[in-house]
Amino acid sequence: MQRRAAVVGNWKMNGTIAFTQALTSAVCAGVTERDHNHTLACDVILCPPFTSLSTAQHHLAGSPVRLGGQNISEAIGGPFTGEISGSLLRDAGCSHVILGHSERRTLLGEQDALVARKMVAAFRDGLIPIVCLGETLAERTAEQTLAVIQTQLTALLALLPTAEEQRAHWVLAYEPVWAIGTGRHATPDQVQEVHGFIRKQLTDRLGTTIASSIQILYGGSVTPDNAAALFAQPDVDGGLIGGASLKAETFLAIIDAYPKNF
Q: How far is the CB of 140 from ligand PEP (least distance, A)?
A: 16
The residue annotated as part of the active site, out of 101, 103, 185, 195, is 101
Query: Is residue 227 part of the contact set for ligand PEP (CB under 6 A)?
Result: no
Q: How far is the CB of 208 from ligand PEP (least distance, A)?
A: 29
Catalogue the long-range contacts made by 113-118 (C-beta closer than 8 Å, 24 or more residues apart). 113/155, 114/74, 115/152, 115/155, 115/156, 116/155, 116/156, 116/158, 116/159, 117/74, 117/159, 118/71, 118/72, 118/73, 118/74
Which of 55, 152, 221, 250 contacts ligand PEP by CB under 6 A? Answer: 221
**CA-CA distance, 255 to 239, in Å (whole number)?**
9
Query: Is residue 238 part of the contact set for ligand PEP (CB under 6 A)?
Result: no
**Which is nearest to 134 in space by CA: 177, 98, 77, 91?**
177
Stretch that binds ligand PEP, among 45-53, 89-97, 119-127, 217-225 (CB under 6 A): 217-225
Query: Is residue 180 part of the contact set for ligand PEP (CB under 6 A)?
Result: yes
Query: Is residue 242 part of the contact set for ligand PEP (CB under 6 A)?
Result: yes
Query: Is residue 135 part of the contact set for ligand PEP (CB under 6 A)?
Result: no
**CA-CA distance, 213 to 160, in Å (whole number)?**
15
By annotation, the residues acting in catalysis are 101, 175
- The residues that touch ligand PEP, with contacts defined as CB under 6 A, are 10, 175, 180-181, 219-222, 240-244
